[in-house]
Chains A and B, each alone.
Chain A
C-alpha cells in the first residue's frame, strides 16, 4: 500500500489534508494489528497450531486487500438495512457461541 494511493482514496472521502491522512493510516494500522493480536490470542486460547496457520493465511489475504479502512467505513454506515444486517449476524454468532461451543 502506498501513501499516495491512500491519500487519493482519502480525498475521495473528502478529508484529504495531511493530518487527516495520517489519522487514517493510524486507523488502518490499528485495524490490522487488532487482527494480528486477536489471531494470536485465539490460537493461544485454543492451543491449536492449525488454527494459527489458518489465522496467518487470513492475515495474508487481508494484507492483499489493503486498505481495508474504506470497506470498514462502508460497513459501519448508518443505513438501517446495514445496521440490521450486522445486528442479525452478530446475534446469530452469539447464539452459536453460547449454545453450541462448549
Chain B
C-alpha cells in the first residue's frame, strides 16, 4: 500500500536524527569550566551535596516542586479536585469489588523476610539523610530508600493488610511541610543578607547547625537535606499508594 512511502520517510528521518545524536556524542570534548570552581572551593566534605544545596540550591527547590506537582496531578488523574468526574464515574463507577486492592501479596517466606528488610532499609534511609553532608548520600537518596522500604512492604503484603501503613493525610502533611521548610529557609537568606537560599553559617553568634568540634560548620545544608528527604519519602510513598489502590478513586468520585 501507500504506507510504504511513510515507512521509508520515517525510517530515513529517524536514521538522520540518530546519526546526528551519535555524531554529537562522539565528538564531545569536555571543557572543565565552572567545575574547577566547584572542586577547588571547600564548603562541606560531600561536594555533590555542596553543589546540590549551596551552589545550585534553587534547582533543587524546583525539583522538589516538580515532585509535589507530580503527586498533585497524579491525585487529580484519580479524581481529586476535578471540575467534572463523569469519565472516572463511567470507568470506575459500577464495579462490585476492587480487584487491585484484593491482591493478597506473596508467599509467607517473602512476607517473613520483607518486614525486617524494610525496617533496616528505613533506618538506613534515616542515616543517609542525616549524614548527607559528610558521607555519601543526601536527602534524595535517603528519602527514596525509605519510600523503597514502604514499596517493598506493599508489594509483599498487598495494600490492604500491609503492616507498615502510612496515613494518607499524614503523608500529605509531611510533603507540604518539607517543601515549605525548604522555601522558608531560603527566605531567611533574604532576611539576613538579601540573597535567596544563602547558606547561613551562624545566626546571632550561634552556629546554625551545631556540630562537634573537628567537623565543619555545614550551615543550613543539613536542614535542607532533611526537608528534601521528608518530601521525597512522602511524595514517592503517596504516588505508590495512589497507583496501587483503587479505594482512593472510588472515594474521590463518590463525593
Whether chain A touches chain B in the assembled complex (some CB pair under 8 Å): yes
Mark A residues whose CB is within 8 Å of B. Answer: 85, 88-93, 95-96, 98-99
Task: Kindly report which residue of chain B lies nearest to residue A89, judged by CB atoms.
Answer: B13
Q: How far is the CA of A90 from the CA of B13 in the complex (A)?
A: 8
20 contacting pairs across A/B (C-beta < 8 A): A85-B10, A88-B10, A88-B13, A88-B14, A88-B17, A89-B9, A89-B13, A90-B13, A91-B17, A92-B12, A92-B16, A92-B17, A93-B13, A93-B16, A95-B16, A95-B17, A95-B19, A95-B20, A98-B20, A99-B20
Task: Kindly report which residue of chain A lies nearest to residue B12, judged by CB atoms.
Answer: A92
Question: Given the complex, which residues of B lie within 8 Å of A88, measured CB to CB?
Answer: 10, 13-14, 17
Residue among A85, A92, A98 having the largest count of chain B Cβ atoms under 10 Å:
A92
Interface of B is mostly: helix
Question: Given the complex, which residues of A lie within 8 Å of B13, measured CB to CB?
Answer: 88-93
Question: Given the complex, which residues of B lie within 8 Å of A98, measured CB to CB?
Answer: 20
Q: How far is the CA of A92 from the CA of B12 in the complex (A)?
A: 8
Residue-wise, chain B 9-36 has the 8 Å CB interface mask toward A (1 for contact) of: 1101111110110010000000000000
Q: How far is the CB of B80 from chain A (nearest CB, A)?
A: 26
Q: How far is the CA of A96 from the CA of B17 in the complex (A)?
A: 8
Q: How far is the CB of B194 from chain A (nearest CB, A)?
A: 42
Interface residues on B, range: 10 to 19
Task: Kindly report which residue of chain B lies nearest to residue A85, judged by CB atoms.
Answer: B10
Q: A92-B16, A98-B20 are in contact. List 14 more A-B contacts (CB 8 A).
A: A85-B10, A88-B10, A88-B17, A89-B9, A89-B13, A90-B13, A91-B13, A92-B12, A92-B15, A93-B16, A95-B16, A95-B19, A96-B16, A99-B20
Q: How far is the CB of A4 from chain B (nearest CB, A)?
A: 28
Inter-subunit contact B23/A99 (CB<8 Å): yes
Q: How far is the CA of A85 from the CA of B20 in the complex (A)?
A: 18
Q: How far is the CA of A96 from the CA of B6 in the complex (A)?
A: 18
Question: Given the complex, which residues of A lie within 8 Å of B19, measured CB to CB?
Answer: 95
Question: Given the complex, which residues of A lie within 8 Å of B6, measured CB to CB?
Answer: 85
Question: Given the complex, which residues of A lie within 8 Å of B20, measured CB to CB?
Answer: 95, 98-99
Q: How far is the CB of B93 from chain A (nearest CB, A)?
A: 27
Q: How far is the CB of A95 from chain B (nearest CB, A)?
A: 4
Q: How far is the CA of A91 from the CA of B13 in the complex (A)?
A: 7
